[in-house]
Amino acid sequence: MKSLLNSALGLTLGVAGASFALADGHAKELTIAIVNNGHMINMQKVAEAYTEETGVKLNWVSLEEGVLREQVTSDTATGGGQYDIINIGMQEAPIWGAAGWIEPLEFGAEYDVDDMLPAMRNGLSHEGTLYAAPFYGESSMVMYRKDLTDAAGVNIADNDSWDNVKAAAAAIHDPDNGVYGACLRGKPGWGDNMAFVTTVVNSFGGAWFDADYKPTLESDEWKAAINFYVDLLGTYGPPGSEGNSFNEILALYNEGKCGMWIDATIAASFLEVDGVAYAQSPNAGNPVGANWLWAWAMAVPAGTENTAEAKAFIEWATSKEYIKAVADHPEFGWGSVPTGTRASTYAYSEFQAAAPFAAAEMAAIESAAPEATDIKPYVGVQFAAIPEFPEVGSAVAQEIAAALSGAKSVDEALAASQAAADAIMKEAGYY
Amino acid sequence: MSNRTLPRLLQTPAVVLLLIWMLVPLSMTIYFSLIRYVLNSLRRPEWTTPSLSNWRGLGNYEYVLNAKDFWFAIQNSVFIVTSILVLTVVLGLAIAVLVNRSFPGRGVVRVLLISPFFVMPAVNAVLWINMILDPVLGLQGIAVGGINDLVNGLRDFPVLGWFFSLWPELQPISFRATQTSAYAVVMMVTWQWTPFAVLIFMTSLQSEDESQKEAATLDGASPWSQFINLTVPHLARPIAIVVMIQSIFHLSLYAEIEIVSRGNGNKNLPYLIGEFTSNNIGAASATGIFAVILANIIAIFLLRMVGKSLMD
């Protein structure tokens, strides 16, 4: 018994000693929470060179988008300090910066912050201060099967009208042979179906809130947009669309089941079917357009003790050298570089050759305007950069999915959405 | 020192630890549910730190009671839990009685029967919804497409063709839709938890009195009446245990609901709490208190039931 006690005591002391040595030694460690998207997964390999060079050990925590958001929000809001670097999106960056949850970022001249695409920089800043550095950025566009549209004798133009797009979907819709006219997001979630639905609403001239932050979900624009969306996806979409988001549709598309897909530009680099062509998102006449704007960015939570090391890593991971490092990496190449962040990336001819979608992507990103306008008081294209938006967005997302399932009419779903959104905004003290 | 003091003293650390374990989180939840507390607010920054000056009384409870899906979540919780309980107990009884006989390969069959229970809930949900139930790429989609093709082919035959031309084209069902997502969850959880019921019933079947059964057979009782009058009463206690343990687990289902439909047409109180925690901690805590109340109501019934069968 005594020897057991002794060894237990020794073990405890040993462990305590070890952790003490770790905290004290100069071999620094950074814990990085990332979203489990392709580019971020690749970063883990590319960053091995960074560890060799600087001796900073990197611990990766790779999480699914929704889980990441939950984990990172609670850790950051309570100053938990579990992570040194976090992956956040464009919805969070400005409001978290305003709340003081994340550190402002300033980089050296070599970093060339002016090379960053202006839409990205604006979307990740609060009152002119950059709070998160974009790792990769995206907009949305139409990806359609040129072979199918040619065979059907239809055409999809840049910024086409929604009516033309619907006619094209009808022409290529052939469910008996397993091809569905239009694959669109339907899975409930403010970052899932609502990302696409909001771009449709934007293109019809609608917005989430009016100038007093009262929700406007029962407006004529919303009704027209949702009716159009439910009709298009319900008639020419694959069965089970209410469960489809990016990954599900990507699988369908690569199985050759989709004639047309309107989604994130990043999807273009994962498409494996032949005959894909790109067009700028359709528009119903609104000058702001129907492209969304999103970035996965890296930020330093205020609770970490390794601020300097964390900033240094972000500076490296979002730099021009990083893009080159991915391009030169034996396992990757120009086709796998993170896009949508820097103008210089698009200037490489090797990149243009490896990414046929590059021009369309750059045009889509440049045309997206996240700033507040006369139509909407909030920052953000397919979301509103306010802390209450995830709650509002999720509630509405479920109603839209119910309308798509046919469990509710569009009017019923929008009435329920409006009531829920109104309650949340009132609760949050907006009016 | 009376002869009771020492045991009590020895128990104290454990009891005190358990009390702290339970009381601290519970009282913090009650406290948060009575104040305004949000993680982030641009309009009312004072609400972001929990303090008594943000006292709100029962306001959070009122807000939650009027929230969009509160009553639906309670109804749906009860629906999911009771469906799963009925299905697992009935299936579990049937399977346990079947594999209780001796037959070649019994060991392998038993191991295979238990294995779904060791699949993680999230994996279970992903597996079912994507690989089995998906209307296009899943087993369901492929099966429906195959049957339709087969029927189409048979239509060309002279006499048979007329019969098959009356058959309607089958449509795959989307199990992520508002109308069906609750059934998908019931299905996958039943698949996962039936083995648990089988396991418990199987072990207690082994203690069944064989001589009683022999006597019943000699008296001419049919296998069915033996099952109803001997086996089921013998299993009353394990059934009660299965029901109790499963209700505790299934009232807090989360992964399956999140993965199948993200709360579209299918929600329970834990899911509602999850939705509030994106910002509104006060409302989330109030929902948590409602969940505690609901769990207690059910627990009182269950404890009475189990207590009764344990007393007998």
Residue that is written with structure tokens 């698009």 in the block: A346
Q: What is the pLDDT along chain B (312 residues), one digit of tens a residue?
A: 567 888 899 999 999 999 999 999 999 999 999 999 998 888 888 898 888 898 998 999 999 998 888 999 989 998 999 999 999 999 999 999 888 888 888 889 888 988 999 999 889 999 999 899 998 888 998 999 888 888 888 887 877 777 777 778 888 888 999 999 999 999 999 999 999 999 999 999 988 888 888 888 888 888 888 888 888 888 888 998 898 889 888 988 999 999 998 888 899 888 988 888 778 899 999 999 998 898 888 888 877 777 776 665
Which of B42, B178, B278 is opposite residue A98, by nearest beta carbon? B42
Q: Are residues A63 and A71 in contact, defined by beta-carbon separation less than 8 angstroms?
A: yes
Work out the end-to-end distance of chain B between its first and last CA atoms, rounded to an integer number of angstroms.
37
Interacting residues of B59 by C-beta distance below 8 A, sequence separation 6+: B36
Q: At A268, is the pLDDT very low, low, confident or very high (cuts 50, 70, 90)? A: confident
For A96, the closest chain B residue by CA position comes to B40
Number of helices (H), then strands (E), in chain A = 18, 9
- Does the CB of A401 have a partner CB in chain B at under 8 Å? yes
- What is the C-alpha separation between A34 and A46, in angstroms, rounded? 14
Answer yes or no: do B264 and A408 touch at CB < 8 A.
no
Sign of the dihedral through C-alpha A317, A318, A323, A326? positive
Answer yes or no: do B277 and A101 touch at CB < 8 A.
no
Quick one: pLDDT at residue B310? 62
Structure tokens at A359: 């021009």
What 3-state class would DSSP assign to B116?
Answer: helix
Supply the mean pLDDT for chain A: 87
Quick one: pLDDT at residue B194? 95
**Mean pLDDT, residues A406-423 taken together:** 95
Answer yes or no: do B177 and A405 touch at CB < 8 A.
yes
Strand partners, A295: A137
Calculate how close chain A gets to B88, using CA atoms only, in Å.
27
Q: Are residues B198 and B95 in contact, defined by beta-carbon separation less than 8 angstroms?
A: yes
Quick one: pLDDT at residue B187? 95
Instruction: Tally C-beta pairs within 8 A across A and B.
Output: 134
What 3-state class would DSSP assign to A305?
Answer: coil
Calculate how close chain A gets to B179, using CA atoms only, in Å.
7
User: Is residue A128 left, alpha or beta, with left meaning phi > 0 and alpha meaning psi from -120 to 50?
Assistant: left
Chain A, window 20-79: residues with a beta carbon less than 8 angstroms from a chain B beta carbon = 66, 69-70, 73-74, 77
Answer yes or no: do A255 and B38 touch at CB < 8 A.
no
Which of B44, B134, B275 is opposite residue A240, by nearest beta carbon? B134
Quick one: pLDDT at residue B40? 86
Quick one: pLDDT at residue A312? 93
Question: What is the 3-state composition of chain A as percent helix, strand, coil, each rounded to the nearest 5?
Answer: 50, 15, 35
* Mutate: best of A92, A96, A388, partner B, most B CBs <10 A: A388
**Mean pLDDT, residues A240-249 taken together:** 90
Instruction: Residue A259: list chain B partners with CB under 8 A.
Output: none
Q: Are residues A398 and A412 in contact, defined by beta-carbon separation less than 8 angstroms?
A: no
Q: What are phi and psi of B111, to 5 degrees?
A: -60, -45
Answer yes or no: do B263 and A394 touch at CB < 8 A.
yes
Chain A, window 223-252: residues with a beta carbon less than 8 angstroms from a chain B beta carbon = 238-243, 248, 251-252
Chain A, window 178-197: residues with a beta carbon less than 8 angstroms from a chain B beta carbon = 178, 187-189, 192
Which of A95, A257, A430 is opposite residue B40, by nearest beta carbon? A95
Q: At A26, is the pLDDT very low, low, confident or very high (cuts 50, 70, 90)? A: low
Note the pLDDT tens digit of each residue in A284-324.
777 666 788 999 999 999 888 899 999 999 999 999 999 99
Number of other residues whose CB lies within 10 A of the CB of residue A55: 10
Q: ipTM score of the complex?
A: 0.85
Answer yes or no: do B178 and A240 touch at CB < 8 A.
no
Strand partners, A180: A258
Distances (CA, A) of B179 to A408, B139, B174, B176: 10, 20, 9, 8
Chain A, window 113-172: residues with a beta carbon less than 8 angstroms from a chain B beta carbon = none
Instruction: Residue B279: list chain A partners with CB under 8 A.
Output: 387-388, 390-391, 428
What 3-state class would DSSP assign to A294?
Answer: strand
Answer yes or no: do B277 and A74 touch at CB < 8 A.
yes
Question: What is the 3-state composition of chain B as percent helix, strand, coil, each rounded to the nearest 5?
Answer: 75, 0, 25
Instruction: Residue B140: list chain A partners with CB under 8 A.
Output: none
Instruction: Residue B130: list chain A partners with CB under 8 A.
Output: 248
Instruction: Residue A402: list chain B partners with CB under 8 A.
Output: 178, 264-265
Work out the end-to-end distance of chain A between its first and last CA atoms, rounded to an integer number of angstroms.
68
Quick one: pLDDT at residue A413? 96
Answer yes or no: do B68 and A77 touch at CB < 8 A.
no
Which of A243, A387, A406 is opposite residue B176, by nearest beta carbon? A243
Query: Does residue A10 surpass a pLDDT of 50?
Result: no
Write out the H or E segment, with its range, that includes residue A51: helix A48-54
Quick one: pLDDT at residue B298? 81
Quick one: pLDDT at residue A287? 65
Model-level pTM? 0.86
- Does the CB of A95 have a partner CB in chain B at under 8 Å? yes
Note the pLDDT tens digit of each residue in A148-200.
999 999 999 888 899 999 999 999 999 888 899 999 999 999 989 999 999 99
Answer yes or no: do B176 and A257 touch at CB < 8 A.
no
For A258, the closest chain B residue by CA position comes to B136
Query: Does residue A6 surpass a pLDDT of 70?
Result: no
Answer yes or no: do A406 and B177 touch at CB < 8 A.
yes
